[in-house]
């Protein structure tokens, strides 16, 4: 067993804390009706962990900034609307997340926050997804609108660490997010919730675990222990 002693934790959201897979699939199928020719299977294989605006620019060819913003909002609304269809459980927390949040919940407030969420999602969608999954929203909540460059740029995790005022360790499920955390100078723990081990190993995280249930988090007055 390996134990980390850290000052703060920086969490990704989708695929790390919450599962919105059914909704993302439904949203891309909805957009395939508006943008014929896009390959939903190909998109799903490489779009996870990247901001919606960046994915729509890449796969749908949208360049106009105003249209891009409108379509990003429509896409993320479609995630919420389609997530519970076809007997899907909807947007839910992933294994081990409830236990981690119960331990960390008291330390989420400014002026001395000990953990943050740094997501590629918009604030409106991320807030809704966290509420549906029963995950508390910390005071340090970095979303797509807060940075010029999304993951794999280091900007989201640099901003999260800056707002916490402490160096942090990153929990991520996507290779782009792992690279973002590394570029921000953070140690990274990758979760096998959305990508294969080979895909994650290519991003070279410090450790790989199955999901948050494999990590035990202990909050003390001075540090956070992760084992």
Do residues 93 and 134 touch, judged by C-beta distance below 8 A? yes
Neighbours of 28 (CB within 10 A): 23
State the Cα–Cα distance between residues 47 and 55, nearest whole angstrom: 6
Which of 14, 19, 155, 173 is flagged as catalytic? 14
Is residue 123 within 8 A of residue 143, CB to CB? The reply is yes
Residue 48, CB-side half-sphere exposure with 13 Å CA sphere: 28
- The C-alpha atoms of residue 163 and residue 157 are separated, in whole angstroms, by 10
Q: Tell me which residue of 140, 156, 139, 144 sits closest to 120, measured CA to CA.
A: 144
Told to judge if 14 belongs to the known catalytic residues of this protein, a careful annotator would answer: yes
Question: What's the distance, Cα to Cα, between the start and end of the chain in Å?
Answer: 7
CB 24, CB 32: distance < 8 Å: no
* 206 is known as an active-site residue: no
Of the residues 7, 12, 39, 221, only one is catalytic, namely: 12
Q: Which residues are catalytic?
A: 12, 14
């Amino acid at each position: 067993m390996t134990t980390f002693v850290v000052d703060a934790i920086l969490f990704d959201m989708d695929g790390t804390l919450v599962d919105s897979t059914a909704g993302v699939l439904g949203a891309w199928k909805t957009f395939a009706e508006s943008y014929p020719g896009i390959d939903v299977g190909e998109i799903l294989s490489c779009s996870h962990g990247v901001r919606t605006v960046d994915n729509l620019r890449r796969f749908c060819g949208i360049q106009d900034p105003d249209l891009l913003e409108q379509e990003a909002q429509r896409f993320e609304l479609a995630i919420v609307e389609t997530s519970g269809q076809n007997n899907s459980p909807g947007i839910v927390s992933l294994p081990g997340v409830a236990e981690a949040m119960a331990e960390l919940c008291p330390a989420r407030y400014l002026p001395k926050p000990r953990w943050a969420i740094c997501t590629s999602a918009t604030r409106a969608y991320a807030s809704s997804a966290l509420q549906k999954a029963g995950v508390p929203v910390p005071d340090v909540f970095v979303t797509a609108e807060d940075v010029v460059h999304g993951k794999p740029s280091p900007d989201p995790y640099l901003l999260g660490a800056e707002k916490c005022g402490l160096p942090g360790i990153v929990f991520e499920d996507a290779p782009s997010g792992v690279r973002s955390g590394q570029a921000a100078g953070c140690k990274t723990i990758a979760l096998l919730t959305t990508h294969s081990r080979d895909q994650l190993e290519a991003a070279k995280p410090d450790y790989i675990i199955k999901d948050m249930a494999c990590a035990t988090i202990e909050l003390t007055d001075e540090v956070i222990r992760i084992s």
